[in-house]
A = this chain, B = another copy of it.
């Protein structure tokens, strides 16, 4: 494959290893492995999960559920608060597949009671500290009230509690991310037994890749829904969720100019390719790490090199002065994305190292 413009490259073997490893961890914990497909967004990569007996998946929108349902996935949780404006599409899905919805208010359950035409599972969204969505876990009587509303509903079936402990993404270290995850699990362990007494078959479903990667014991959880682990990325590396060898995706970019006076390269590869997500390392914004790309893989990160800024199509790569002479206009270099989910979403397609194209939804 001749690369002449920003091209997203997947190391399939690393991706398969990531899937195998998370599937093994789920099996060892005897929890359901319901991977989130919002990262790879692809029917092709989805097939790679079947070897690990994955049949139940998670998505983040009705549209993504439609895409995977059309590709033969018949047990889908939409881990996003029900958008009541999409009721016709939700009904069409619920007719065909085993669909789980996410609720956090009376108003949505009442709406579903009026408009849902087919049976659906329902999870109550629980907030254990992220404060994005959900009911605070300490409000267990309100959670119980919603659970009972769902149980009393003609079409809904209360499946359990769903948590996305996304505050791990703001952790300063792996140790802190681990503490946040254990705190979230501990919080659930304190309050959930009260509900379990009433709904013994209810599940506790937990989400985020940092938590699922860092802890070995999922405690009270009966299901895990990590997504990003399939590729990992620079943010996960920084958080300590993965090691560098597990990152399965890089953007290969042409060097279009070199600026010796400031040890910088200009690359064709910008915000429309990588997304504008960044991390902060020692007060410096970092939009990607830099690797050497050789057709069948890539090097470790080049020390002292990073993407310092992104415009629409331009990226600026800062180098250590000693490395500058090795780079030339017309070279291809690899950029490790900060956030692989958004990079995939920007690009819409990627290629394996042996040139197979992978299209997304």
A: residues with CB less than 8 A from B are 3-5, 38, 60-63, 80-86, 89, 104-105, 107-108, 111, 131-133, 166, 254, 256-259, 262, 266, 268, 271-272, 275-277, 309, 311-314, 316, 328-330, 332, 341-342, 345-346
Contacts and interface: CB of A to CB of B under 8 A. Distances in A.
Nearest to A329: B107
Contact of A312 (B38, B111, B262): B38
Contact of A329 (B84, B277, B330): B84
Given A104-B257, A105-B257, A5 B86 contact: yes
A148 to B, nearest CB: 20
Nearest to A108: B329
27 contacts: A3-B85, A4-B86, A5-B61, A5-B85, A60-B312, A61-B268, A61-B313, A80-B256, A80-B314, A81-B256, A81-B257, A83-B268, A84-B256, A85-B332, A105-B257, A105-B258, A108-B329, A111-B330, A132-B309, A133-B266, A133-B314, A271-B275, A271-B342, A275-B276, A276-B276, A312-B342, A346-B346
Contact of A256 (B5, B82, B89, B332): B82
Given A272-B345, A329-B107, A345-B272, A266 B132 contact: yes
Nearest to A64: B313
B342 A83 contact: no
A82 B254 CA distance: 10
Contacts of A86: 4-5
A314 B345 CA distance: 14
A123 to B, nearest CB: 14
A268 B345 contact: no
Pick from A63, A104, A311, A328 the residue with the most CB of B within 10 Å.
Answer: A311
Contact of A262 (B83, B84, B131, B330): B131
Pick from A4, A312, A332, A346 the residue with the most CB of B within 10 Å.
Answer: A312
A91 to B, nearest CB: 13
A281 to B, nearest CB: 18
Contacts of A259: 133
Contact of A342 (B81, B111, B131, B276): B276
Contacts of A4: 83, 85-86, 89
A277 B274 CA distance: 12
Contacts of A330: 84-85, 111
A341 B272 CA distance: 9
A4 B85 CA distance: 5
A133 B261 CA distance: 12
Contacts of A316: 132
Contacts of A275: 271, 275-276
B84 A313 contact: no
Contacts of A258: 105
